[in-house]
Amino acid sequence: MASEEIETSKFLKDREAGINESEKREDPISSDTLCGFSIFKGPALQRFATAHMFVIMYGIASCFLAMAFTYFTGTISQMEKRFNIPSKISGLITVGNDISTVFSSAFLSYYASRGHRPRWVALGLLIIALFCLLMLTPHFFYGPGEEALRLTEEYEIEESFANFSVNSTEKNDSLCHKKDSNCVKDAGDYTPIVLFFIAQFIGGIGCSLFYAPGLSYMDDNSASSKTPAMLSWSTFLRMLGPAMGFSMVSLCLRLYIDPFKTPLITPNDPRWLGAWWLGWFLLTFILIISAFFVALFPKELPRAKARRLKAVGEEDTPLAERSFQDMLDSLKRLAVNKVYIYNMLASILYFFGYMPYWIFTPKYIEIQYRQSASTANMATGTWALGFSAAGVLISGYVISKYKPSARAMAAWNFVVDYLTVAGILCYILVGCDESDRANSMSIVPTGDSCSASCDCEYVYLAPVCSPENMTFISACHAGCTEKGLDELGRIIYTGCRCMGNSLNLTSFSNVTSLASQSQIALDGVCPVDCNKQFFIFLAVMCFLKFVGATGRSSNLLLALRCVPSKDKTFSLGFGSMVYSVLTFIPSPIVFGWMLDSYCLVWGKTCTSKGNCWIYDTKSLRYTMNLVSASLIFLGSFWNIGVWYHAKDMKVFDEEETAPQNNPIEAIELKEKPKEIVTDKK
């Protein structure tokens, strides 16, 4: 009996020692769960090693990343003017990040998932900072440009020193080039284009490193019951990015490209070049700071490690089963999944048709409604995104409360498509007749007898306004021979042989002789009032943003529930690759080419056409909107197929057991698998 007690006592001691040893081994505070690196670590940081803190930091970093790519979108028109880039080339630059994403996303995501994921995310942020720095370098290599400097008071002063008399014959001859004169030798250098493309390409690699490791880390280190709340916070913070990006663009473009010089024109002048480069300074700095704070998080959060150890390694099983054959089997299952295939086809057509409104909306507003670049970006980044956020929140609440069936959500996606088509068709009707008429009258044939003595083909864009409220490309095109000042100190051109006879004397009342008014022109574009049409356009755009955003949650749930749990991650990754190849890469190039095809006035140089200054706004408005509406309309028929085959699909039964990282990934996909911007619907 005594021996049994001794053995029992020994057993209990050994068991207690074993438990203590096991607890010591499973102690979550280990090297993998310690915050910080190098000299930046210690107990003071450890209290921040929580899933909530990571969600906040990751959401803020996502906001800054979206802000960077939105800033690029908002400054496209300014870069085109500064470096004489056609829209089809700027579209090609835009898809640089999609090209790198296609080739790097799968490999980098797989490799980074097995390492210190917060530091991979931080590396992605540093690469995005490098993208911002590369976007900045062309300005330091090339400066503001002679065309921009010519429109400053300082340049006029320098010219006055070079020319002793403003009214000298040589000065007047500058109104037009004599035949056989030298052309404009200010462009033809493709270095800025190459730098911009490389920057975008590098940015895509940074996004691949940022999203996949960050999202999987968030999921693996969060309790499933808390994931919805964390997802909401992350989405909210991320949605601030485009709004902040467009707001920064608006503020920067209010400044002249050289802020230390005094411009002679206003931001409403088509020749205005804003300080597009200024925001890249701040973006580079805040992304580096964000990378530092994200890198402080441990390889695994303490609470998450404790949960994983209790799960007896069940998290490691799926990784062991991964193989190339398993990927092929998943691909075969997706190929016969009609809901998945139909939803993908509908999304491809929708994304392709809506792409120009994500990339070229500020430019569209500038050329259609004669608004400044600053106003166009502010409208795009504040009101529109506010309505989009409201649509997401309201639809999420409705779905959570009423839990509609899969068919009901598929039907709503179909309705959203048709409302989107209706709104885009309204864009056609919301045109500015004054702007259309002014643009159509701006073109004077180069062989016209009134300006035949001059070679106007390579003259800088320097618009002048005739008494008929008709804008000419330059005083040369108007056939003017003299330059001077009127009684109000305004620059006027006289001897303009290309002017008509009908007079609109509102702006010319201070010219002394009516006989001479038919031969004069005022410096600058003629006033055009498109404010009413602009506000109507904004109202329609906000409606489309709201309606489209209400379809996000339903489309998200359909995409998640139409495939087996084991195929969800692969299905989202495969879909992202397909969308990039078939939509995000070709669509900007196609619509950029479309914009160029309706150009009326090119900034011609000795070696190339350069950028477009004046568009056929009416024809462009009809063509672009009809093509976009047609593509979305065709995509809606595939949504009918989704509705038909989703009749037996369950949406909410698997809500607790479904992997929680997929909803986050799907939201990234639906908002813009690229980085940024803006929203898909």
What is the Cα–Cα distance from 536 to 541, expressed in whole angstroms? 9
pTM above 0.75, yes or no: no
pLDDT computed for residue 393 by the predictor: 76
Does some domain include residue 278? yes
- Name the more confident of 620 and 444: 620
Give residues with Cβ within 8 angstroms of 393, minimum separation 6.
none
Q: 320, 488, 373: which is closest to 74 by C-alpha? A: 373
Q: Given 523, 554, 577, which residue is the final one in a domain?
A: 523
Using DSSP, state whether 585 is helix, strand or coil. coil
* Pair of tokens at residue 60: 């803020």
Q: Are residues 224 and 309 in the same domain?
A: yes
Does some domain include residue 237? yes
pLDDT computed for residue 616 by the predictor: 87
* Pair of tokens at residue 296: 């402080």
pLDDT-derived band at 27 (thresholds 50, 70, 90) equals very low
Q: Are residues 136 and 73 in the same domain?
A: yes
What is the Cα–Cα distance from 280 to 195, expressed in whole angstroms? 14
**pLDDT above 80 (res 417):** yes
Q: Are residues 541 and 490 in the same domain?
A: no
pLDDT computed for residue 207 by the predictor: 85
Give the ranges where 143-226 is alpha helix by DSSP (H): 146-149, 153-162, 169-173, 191-220
Q: Are residues 379 and 452 in the same domain?
A: no
**pLDDT above 60 (res 461):** yes
* Spacing of C-alpha 290 from chain mean position: 20
Q: Are residues 427 and 466 in the same domain?
A: no
Q: Are residues 357 and 470 in the same domain?
A: no
Half-sphere exposure of 518 (CA within 13 A, CB side): 7
Determine what percent of the chain is predicted with pLDDT higher than 70.
68
Average the pLDDT over 327-343 and give the result. 81
Q: Are residues 336 and 396 in the same domain?
A: yes
Q: Are residues 366 and 237 in the same domain?
A: yes
Does some domain include residue 263? yes
For residue 243, give the amino acid letter: A
Question: Containing domain of residue 555, as a range?
Answer: 51-166+190-432+530-671
Does some domain include residue 46? no
* Spacing of C-alpha 389 from chain mean position: 17
CATH number at residue 425: 1.20.1250.20
Q: Given 484, 506, 523, which residue is the final one in a domain?
A: 523
**pLDDT above 70 (res 158):** no
CB 608, CB 111: distance < 8 Å = no
pLDDT-derived band at 284 (thresholds 50, 70, 90) equals very high
Q: 238, 221, 207, 212: which is closest to 297 by C-alpha? A: 221
| DSSP string of 1-12, one letter each residue | -HHHHHHHHHHH
| DSSP string of 509-549, one letter each residue | TT-S-HHHHTT-EEESPPP---HHHHHHHHHHHHHHHHHHH
pLDDT computed for residue 516 by the predictor: 47
Q: Are residues 205 and 58 in the same domain?
A: yes
Does some domain include residue 458? yes
Average the pLDDT over 135-141 and give the result. 91
**pLDDT above 50 (res 509):** no
pLDDT computed for residue 200 by the predictor: 92
543, with CB counted inside 10 A (0-12, 13-18, 19+), is middle
Q: 518, 464, 512: which is closest to 495 by C-alpha? A: 518
pLDDT computed for residue 303 by the predictor: 65
Average pLDDT, the chain: 74
Q: Are residues 534 and 495 in the same domain?
A: no
Does some domain include residue 400? yes
What is the Cα–Cα distance from 220 to 304, expressed in whole angstroms? 7
Q: In Å, what is the CA distance from 197 to each residue of 84, 118, 123?
A: 15, 28, 20
Q: Given 523, 542, 568, which residue is the final one in a domain?
A: 523
**pLDDT above 80 (res 647):** no
Does some domain include residue 234? yes
Q: 104, 638, 191: which is closest to 414 by C-alpha? A: 638
Terminal C-alpha separation, the chain: 79
- Report, in this order, helix, strand and coil percent for the chain, each rounded to 5: 65, 5, 30
What are the tens digits of pLDDT across the range 171-213? 444 565 544 445 555 445 688 999 999 999 999 888 878 876 7
What are the tens digits of pLDDT across the range 567-596? 665 676 677 778 888 888 888 889 888 988
**pLDDT above 70 (res 216):** no
Q: In Å, what is the CA distance from 81 to each residue of 156, 516, 611?
A: 21, 35, 6
Q: Are residues 466 and 332 in the same domain?
A: no
What are the tens digits of pLDDT across the range 56-87? 888 889 889 989 988 998 898 888 888 888 88
Total domains in the chain come to: 2
Give residues with Cβ within 8 angstroms of 196, minimum separation 6.
79, 93, 96, 134, 135, 138
What is the Cα–Cα distance from 288 to 282, expressed in whole angstroms? 10
Residue 277 CB neighbour total at 10 angstroms: 20
Q: 270, 333, 331, 226: which is closest to 578 by C-alpha? A: 331
What is the Cα–Cα distance from 139 to 497, expressed in whole angstroms? 40
Does some domain include residue 374? yes
What is the Cα–Cα distance from 233 to 254, expressed in whole angstroms? 33
Q: Are residues 380 and 339 in the same domain?
A: yes
What is the Cα–Cα distance from 491 to 281, expressed in whole angstroms? 37
Whose structure tokens read 């021996």?
3
